């Protein structure tokens, strides 16, 4: 039996190469069937956080000096095992997070690809040379590891988001302390168990399950942490930035968004509907790249809304492991309660509920709701300005492309945006003028490649980009060395 099928819940902290118990435990409940528990997982104490920091600080120089081929082998092996076990680990992920198995499996596979990509990047660490302005002097520019990296990752993509942080951190010679979300501990333990088997120096990688008030706060306020990579809410991201600044600790923040998908008058209806469905309702809308605003031009508005409502009626909602399910439950009761509070706020603002908005009672008792569509909404309303993180989207009617672009940009966020159009002129204008870090044409706003930079503008992101070769901007420090022959 693999570790992922029988995770060591009573000893689910990993510090200095050893599994440890914590000061308490939290239950891990399946949101598809709340009668099922995946176990009680340990919670770290402040003392254990300090132990992990000390272990990571001690191990980091040894790991950085480890030969490149050994580092490459380690990351490649992690990626290979994730991909080989994507069915098994995908089921585990779906059981604790609630996304359908196809999405869970795909996430594990993608996490494996991140490790494989950065395994190759290990061997691409090539510096630069330059001629000096001084005769007889040579110049070398190299990159070195930052040191100890604290990684704070969310529950909605518990393995993939962690992987795209952990893989480059290790590839460039850093040690890692990982604090995952408490809602998805089993996936974290499964990944840690894979990393543990690679035989890297004890303390190079550490797993700390626990609360933000204990584990998170201790990490972000520590002077011995050299970098913090965080994905989560804007409020928490602002807290991370505030805590790290006095200690001059570099931080990388990926936060919220309110992404717009523009449907142009000349859009192909089927393409537009499928992009809206995938962007708005896959992962139960619980993703920072969700299409939570549908900005639709006059000429296509009625036909698009009718087609979208018809397509929404065919979406299957159910247990994450049930075959044919498009949308699983939301992650927990707190999220479900928040979703319905947003539905109430939208109605109070004057939005017209065109589809859904209901709590669903299905075969298994879980946190189910129907995909939800509001029409006749204004961009200035709170439901269209704040990140909802729900299977809920709103239609905003506009007259033309200029108004569509202005509406897209009328937000404090700027992670992704998209347009469905057959016009090269319209797509070119949108790509140039959309104020978001990622721009999609004839695609949903969700879904990005792992080998290119990911990040946003405004309050969506802060610090260097994630993923691809751009990841080295956060996980390495540049050194310029001058030399004159003796």
Q: Point out the residues that are catalytic.
A: 254, 288
Neighbours of 58 (CB within 10 A): 16
Cα 190 from Cα 185, distance rounded (Å): 9
Residues 6 or more apart from 321 whose CB is under 8 A from it?
32, 91, 94, 95, 101
Q: Answer for the pair 253, 241: CB distance below 8 angstroms, yes or no.
A: yes
Six-digit token string for 251: 């931080």
Compute the 3-state secondary structure of the chain and give helix, strand, coil in percent, each to the nearest 5: 40, 20, 35
Cα 177 from Cα 188, distance rounded (Å): 12
Q: Helices 185-196 and 86-97: crossing angle, nearest 10°?
A: 150
Q: Is the dihedral of CA 256, 262, 263, 268 positive or negative?
A: negative
Largest CA distance in the chain: 80
Cα 229 from Cα 152, distance rounded (Å): 6
Report the SS3 class of residue 226. coil
Q: Answer for the pair 189, 22: CB distance below 8 angstroms, yes or no.
A: no
The per-residue DSSP string of 404-461 comes to: HHHHHH-SS--SEEEEE-S-HHHHHHHHHH--SSEEEESS-S----TTS-B--SGGGE
CA nearest to 146, candidates 59, 250, 63, 50: 250
Six-digit token string for 19: 């599994």
Chain centroid, CA 204 distance in Å: 23
Cβ burial 194-231 (10 Å sphere, 16+ → b, else e) = bbbebebbbbbbbbbbbebebbbbbbbebeebbbbbbb
Provide the Cα torsion 194, 227, 234, 189; round to 10°: 20
CA nearest to 389, candidates 283, 472, 477: 283
Helices (H), 145-202: 160-171, 185-196
Cα 370 from Cα 280, distance rounded (Å): 12
Any idea what DSSP says for residue 6? S
Q: Helices 185-196 and 68-84: crossing angle, nearest 10°?
A: 140
């Amino acid at each position: 039996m693999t570790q992922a099928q029988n995770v060591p819940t009573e000893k689910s902290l990993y510090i200095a190469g050893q599994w440890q118990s914590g000061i308490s435990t939290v239950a891990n409940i399946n949101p598809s069937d709340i009668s099922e528990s995946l176990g009680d997982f340990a919670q770290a104490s402040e003392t254990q956080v300090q132990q992990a920091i000390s272990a990571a600080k001690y191990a980091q120089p040894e790991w950085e000096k480890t030969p490149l081929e050994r580092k490459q082998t380690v990351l490649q092996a992690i990626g290979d095992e994730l991909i080989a076990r994507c069915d098994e680990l995908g089921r585990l992920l779906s059981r604790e997070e609630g996304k359908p198995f196809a999405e869970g499996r795909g996430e594990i596979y993608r996490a494996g690809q991140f490790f494989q990509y950065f395994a190759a990047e290990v061997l691409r660490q090539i510096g630069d040379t330059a001629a000096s302005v001084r005769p007889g002097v040579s110049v070398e520019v190299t990159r070195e590891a930052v040191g100890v990296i604290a990684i704070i990752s969310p529950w909605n993509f518990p393995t993939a988001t962690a992987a795209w942080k952990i893989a480059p951190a290790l590839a460039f010679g850093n040690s890692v302390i990982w604090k995952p979300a408490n809602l998805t501990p089993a996936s974290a333990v499964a990944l840690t168990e894979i990393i543990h088997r690679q035989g890297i120096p004890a303390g190079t990688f550490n797993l700390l399950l626990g609360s933000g008030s204990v584990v998170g706060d201790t990490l972000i306020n520590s002077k011995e942490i050299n970098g913090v990579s965080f994905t989560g809410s804007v409020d928490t991201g602002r807290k991370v930035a505030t805590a790290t600044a006095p200690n001059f600790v570099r931080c990388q923040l990926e936060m919220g968004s309110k992404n717009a998908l523009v449907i142009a008058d000349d859009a192909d209806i089927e393409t537009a509907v499928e992009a809206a469905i995938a962007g708005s309702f896959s992962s139960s809308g619980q993703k920072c790249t969700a299409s939570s605003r549908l900005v639709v031009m006059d000429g296509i508005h009625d036909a698009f809304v009718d087609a979208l409502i018809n397509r929404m009626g065919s979406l299957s909602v159910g247990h994450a492991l049930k075959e044919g399910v498009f949308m699983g439950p939301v992650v927990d009761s707190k999220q479900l309660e928040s979703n319905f509070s947003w539905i109430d706020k939208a109605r109070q603002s004057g939005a017209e509920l065109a589809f859904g908005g209901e709590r669903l009672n299905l075969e298994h008792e879980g946190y189910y709701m129907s995909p939800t569509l509001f029409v006749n909404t204004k961009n200035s309303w709170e439901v269209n300005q704040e990140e909802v993180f729900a299977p809920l989207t709103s239609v905003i009617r506009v007259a033309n492309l200029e108004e569509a672009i202005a509406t897209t940009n009328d937000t404090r966020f700027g992670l992704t945006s998209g347009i469905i159009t057959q016009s090269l002129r319209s797509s070119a204008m949108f790509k140039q003028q959309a104020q978001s870090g990622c721009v999609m044409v004839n695609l949903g706003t969700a879904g990005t490649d792992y080998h290119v930079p990911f990040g946003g503008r405004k309050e969506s992101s802060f610090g260097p980009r994630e993923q691809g070769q751009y990841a080295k901007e956060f996980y390495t420090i540049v050194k310029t060395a001058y030399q004159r022959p003796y």
